[in-house]
Each structure stands twice: as C-alpha cells, then as structure tokens.
Amino acid sequence: MLTIVVGGFFGDEGKGKVVSYLSLADRVKVGVRCGSVNAGHTVVMDGKIWKLRIVPSAFVNPTAKLLIAPGALVRLDVLMEELAATGCDGRLFLDPNTGVIEEIHVKREASDALLRGRIGSTLQGVGAAMSDRVLRRLRLAKDFKRLSGMLTDVPGVIHDAIKRGDNVLVEGTQGTYLSLYHGTYPYVTSRDTTASAFASEAGIGPKDVDEVIVVFKAYVTRVGGGPLEGELSADEVARRGWVERASVTGRLRRVAPFNLSLAKRAVMINSATQAAITRVDALDREAYGVREWLKLPASVRRWVEEVEDAIGVPVTIIGTGPEVRSVVDRRHDLGLLK
C-alpha cells in the first residue's frame, strides 16, 4: 500500500511527527523523502530530537529502506551530517537523478534581493538549483563519485515494494499554500508541494497511490512573507502558548487560528483520503500525551468532529505531543485498517 503525506497549510504542520509515527505503526518497508533541505521535519523519539532536512522521517523504523526521490534536491554536507546523526548509513539510497545543490546555488540566493527581502526565503539554494535543473545544467547524484555506493533506481524499488504488498510512505514537504502553482505566489517555495507533485517526484503514477494524508496543525503558522488570514499579534500568540521557531532558519513563525476554508481547499487539491491534525494539546492541555480517542477532552473531540464534517474526510491521526507515539490513531475504530 502506498501513502503520501502532504502539508495542508504553509509547512510545519508536523509532517515529521506523522511520518515517523506511521513508519512504526504501519511497519513501513520503504520511506521516500521528497522536496529539499529548506524543509525541516522534526522527529522526537525517547526524548531525542532530530531536525531532519533530507533523511526520511521513517528512519525511526530500523527495518525501513530509506530513499531520496529523483525529483528531490540534496546538499552533500547536510546529507552526510544527517546520516551520521541518524546512523542510517547503509540503508539510505538516492536515485541517480536526484539533484545536488552546490555552494554556487547558496551564494546566488544569498545575493538575491527579492528572495532575501520580500519572499523571506530560507536561502538554502533550493530555488537556484531548481532553476539550474530546468535549464539542464544542474549536476545530479550520478555525477558525484562520493555518492556512487548510495545510488539505486528509486521508482524501481518503490514499484517492487508495491507489488510485494509492502507499505510505502512518501514524505512530502512544505505545504499546499507554499506550492509554486497552488500557493500564495510569489510568496511560495520553488516547487509544487501537492500530493501529485510528490508522486511525480518519486516516480509513481496516480493510480498507484492508495491514501493521501493531508496534515494540519491545530493552528496555522507561516514563516517568511505572504498573506496569513487572521494573523495574531505576538502578545496573543504568547498568551495562547503557540510560539514557534522555524527549524531550519530559527525565525519566529507567524501564527493564525485554524483556517477551515484553507483546510477544505487543501483536501480538494491533494485529493486527500484522510487528514491528520497535530498539536491538539495546544488547544487543551488535558490532551497532552493522550493516546485514546475517548481520553481526549470532550471539547477537542467535538472540534475534531466539526472539522472532519466540514472537510469531508476522516481525521484519522491526532497529534497530542512531540513524542513519536503521542498520537490518537483512529483508523482502527473508523474501520480503515484491515
């Protein structure tokens, strides 16, 4: 079975948490990371924290094979650092066609007034490398001797796994409204960030996708420029306990309450079959660490049910704290797991 996990707002919805949980709960055999190093996915297990920028969040499952999509872009320094930090050397593979960001791309973005200023880019060289890829001058993983022992046919491995009936988890990055096509252009990232784009990046046709899980957070955050409906003042954000910093750049995140119309549209654009909502413990502290639906505060359960009625897909995964297992998984109760 193949599942794509995608962000429903502006990134930082908790995809790292959802993907790491699913990789354990669903005994995932293959975890595929898409996107690039501008996206920080936070994974917390046994009190240890990883802020992953390229290694798939499924690394927490020691039996999972870890793949980097041909449509993704890596940076060698970031990759080597994270391989050491996660200890997953030997089970992580890149496609020969995976793009490589080089120093020149980082430099080009550092001197780009639009990206540094109005857009508030993370300046990781992703957009510059993407433009080189479009112009057919980007060097790919197969051009680097250092990577030669780590290359594999990523679409081939994914399709073999699907044929065997193994669970494959495709990890999207950023969020629907940072999409180059469907987001708040020009305040967007340099690629499409919807489910179809991640299928394409990984080399999967639409008919091979079984589930699309769109991830929302209990409130909306955004870093960098661009519109944010209902944006709260810094004081109000602090009062609600919703202060967050970006995991790649350390910038303060802008914050707004949950946005139902954005959520509905994200379900539509991604053809989501399920939704996940993280950080419900930020709405009611009594939800912290809860792992059973009926143990959630009634107000949280009511809100989740209102959201799922409005968006038209079940809210199956509910995040109640940073730890990988702090999750209410409703799939069994809702008859969605065989």
| Site for ligand IMP, rule CB under 6 A | 10-12, 38-40, 115, 119-122, 124, 126-127, 173-174, 178, 187, 189-190, 223-225
Report the alpha-carbon distance of residue 329 to residue 134 in Å, rounded.
41
Q: Is residue 175 at the binding interface for Mg ion, with CB under 5 A as the rule?
A: no
Least separation in angstroms between CB 74 and ligand IMP: 15
CB of 144 to ligand IMP, least distance (A): 23
CB of 241 to ligand IMP, least distance (A): 20
Binding residue for Mg ion (CB under 5 A) from 12, 26, 82, 329?
A: 12
Size of the site for Mg ion (CB under 5 A): 2
If the CB atoms of residues 158 and 266 are measured against ligand IMP, the closer one turns out to be 266
127 binds, among Mg ion, ligand IMP, none (CB under 5 to 8 A by kind): ligand IMP
Instruction: Quickly list DSSP for 173-211.
Output: -S-GGG-TTTSSTTSS-SS--SHHHHHHHHT--GGG--E
Distance of closest approach, residue 247 Cβ to Mg ion, in angstroms:
5
Task: Judge whether 24 and 51 are in contact, CB under 8 Å.
Answer: no
The percent of the chain in helix, strand and coil, each rounded to the nearest 5, is 35, 20, 45
Q: Six-digit token pair at 174?
A: 């950023």
Going by C-alpha positions, the residue among 107, 101, 112, 111 that lies closest to residue 138 is: 101
* 3-state SS record for 66-87: EEECCCCEEEHHHHHHHHHHHC
Please say if 166 is a catalytic residue: no
Of 284, 306, 285, 302, nearest in space to 293 by CA: 302
Indicate which of Mg ion, ligand IMP, none lies near residue 178 (CB less than 5 to 8 Å, by partner kind): ligand IMP
Active site residues: 12, 41
Residue ranges that bind Mg ion, judged by CB under 5 A:
12, 40
